[in-house]
Amino acid sequence: MLKKQSNEEWIYNGQRFYIGQRIIGTEQSEYEGLFGTVWEIRDGKDKETENETPDIYCSFDAPKLPYDIQQLEKTFSDLYGTPKTIEDIVLDEVIMSPDMIAPLDTVLPQKTVYMLIEDWAHQGETGFKYRIYSDKNEAKKQMRLTFDRDLEEGFFEGLRSEPDVIEESDENHYEIFRDGFYCEEHYALTIEEHILLGENGG
């Protein structure tokens, strides 16, 4: 069986591969981390290899980052036991097995996380730190605890006594700063919502 028409597809272990698909080399391949395109899929008597899985023909993009180039050259130099440069490495018409590539359009599971950010500057000193929470209510609780702690310790009482001070607050944000001198005099607590992508995101 031969597939070479645009958008013709083949399913392997629940993973969809199709002609024209953008892919990335996996750690099972010497082309790990390289982007590429599927341009032909062969199975059965049409295969060129003796692999049990179909032959997936890919053309890989030449890496551009110096580190990626060095790693690719090292991989192939080690593989062949002789120094190889990027010009020596075949990037077109490379036959891959399904476990050697992964679709770039794979949708990763998502999880919403909440980042509590504390940022301040006062009397020539500055600070910045953050904490990440999976629960919004926990982030809001920690925001209030942090505010109460800093208020009790007099952390920004000196700032409140400065002239031209502006104080702003809402459900997920508190900020106090000296108008016109923000970089020199400010204190802020903010909860930011972010989407985390990855294997354990869902």
pLDDT digits (tens, 9 = 90+) for 144-196: 999 999 888 877 777 777 789 999 999 999 999 999 999 998 999 999 999 98
Lowest-pLDDT range of 22-26, 55-59, 196-200? 196-200
Q: Which of 57, 76, 103 represents a domain boundary (last residue)?
A: 103
Give the model's confidence band at 202: pLDDT under 50 very low, under 70 low, under 90 confident, else very high: very low
Shared domain check, 88 and 34: yes
Joined tokens for residue 27:
């750690």
- Averaged pLDDT of the chain: 88
Residue 78: pLDDT above 80?
A: yes
**Strand partners for 14:** none
- Domain of residue 122, residue span: 110-197
Beta-carbon count within 10 A of 39 CB:
16
- Alpha-carbon distance values, 23 to 32, 100, 102, 130, 162 (Å): 11, 10, 5, 35, 57
Q: Which of 103, 138, 171 represents a domain boundary (last residue)?
A: 103
- The total domain count for the chain is 2
Q: Looking at residue 153, what is its pLDDT?
A: 83
Distance of alpha carbon 120 from alpha carbon 173, whole angstroms:
13
- pTM (predicted TM-score): 0.59
Instruction: Identify whether 143 is part of a domain.
Output: yes
Beta-carbon count within 10 A of 46 CB:
13
- Whose CA is closest to 172, among 143, 134, 145, 133? 143
| Mean pLDDT of all residues in 51-78 | 94
Shared domain check, 99 and 6: yes
Ranges assigned E (strand) in 43-185? 55-60, 94-96, 101-103, 110-122, 125-133, 165-170, 173-178
> Half-sphere exposure (CA, 13 Å, Cβ side) for 116?
18
| Mean pLDDT of all residues in 31-36 | 95
